[in-house]
Amino acid sequence: METWLTARLDLRRAKGQNHGRMKQELRYAIVGSGALGGYYGGKLARAGGDVHFLMRSDLDAVRREGLTIHSKDGDFRLPSVHTYGESREIGLCDVALICLKTTSNAALPEIIPPLLGPETAVVTLQNGLGNEEFLASHFGARRVMGGLCFVCLNRTGPGVIEHLGHGRLSIGEFKGPPQDRTMRVVTDFQRAGIEAKAVQSLITERWRKLVWNIPFNGLGIAAGANVAQVLGEAHLEAEARALMAEVIHAAGKLGYAIRADFIESQIESSRTMGGYRSSSQIDYEAGREVEVEAIWGEPLRQARAAGAETPGLEALYALLRGLVGNRA
């Protein structure tokens, strides 16, 4: 009788140059089941996916009440989902989807190993720069993929996620172009009703996301302003546009070309968000850790190394470090 473990052994024997062959249905572990993991994992589970949620604070509530998504695309509730308090309880999976905040990365070397079979892909949906490199240093570069989420989400209670808008995913390999496994993951998200695509250059997409994250997350903290307020005040909108231009300039210096008109498309998309508060703003106002280094620090260090002039980013980073440090 074939077990899941013997199937994984057969998979290892069939390993080829294209990261190996994956079994028909992918088994997902959602590492970090807050707003991000709850939403994307919930969509996969609703579509019939084999999805397993690693939870801490919400574990008991979700086991009792299930997972609830309030969405502009239609509310849904999953009365019963696979939930676990420890990754060893999940066991081997095909895809470990990292949805923790980057401030928790130090825990990943302990969390991830029980999930790893010979061909397990480790996919980070985290913000900022440096996450793929961190994962590669611990689990090997060939395992690592990344995803960029453009989505408005808030966790409003234990096991309750508010989806306010957007949701598209760009998924790519840490090293090299898309592989068969990349397309398998993209297809699973598409079947779950998520606008998803594979990208040729993951790092370029990371810089494209920073064009939005650096100004709007940063001004959310520094000015205490939600998206509508940033765009409703001429001086704040001008500051956001200037920061966007600096990010595009830095990306270009590093060899990642982003068109200048991307700024206007991001501004116009943001106008549909209303009073959305970024996760960084919510974390700061709630007294939680903020992803200062991943979102502002590492991009600034890379910009400096490339010789890019980014005075606005430098000032914002210093201000955020001071605000977060003084609060602590």
Is 23 a known active-site residue?
no
One of 15, 175, 197, 209 is an active-site residue; which one? Answer: 209
Q: What is the CA radius of gyration of the chain?
A: 20
Work out the average pLDDT over 171-186.
96
pTM of the model: 0.87
Domain residue spans of the chain: 4-200, 205-327
Alpha helices, DSSP H, located in 223-310: 227-232, 234-253, 262-271, 279-285, 292, 298-305
CATH number of 205-327: 1.10.1040.10
pLDDT tens per residue, range 268-316? 999 999 999 998 999 999 999 999 999 999 999 999 999 999 999 999 9
Measured torsion, CA atoms of residues 266, 145, 82, 114, in degrees rounded to the nearest 10: -150
Q: Report d(CA 189, CA 192) in Å as an integer.
A: 5
Tell me the CATH class for 4-200: alpha beta
* For range 36-42, the mean pLDDT: 96
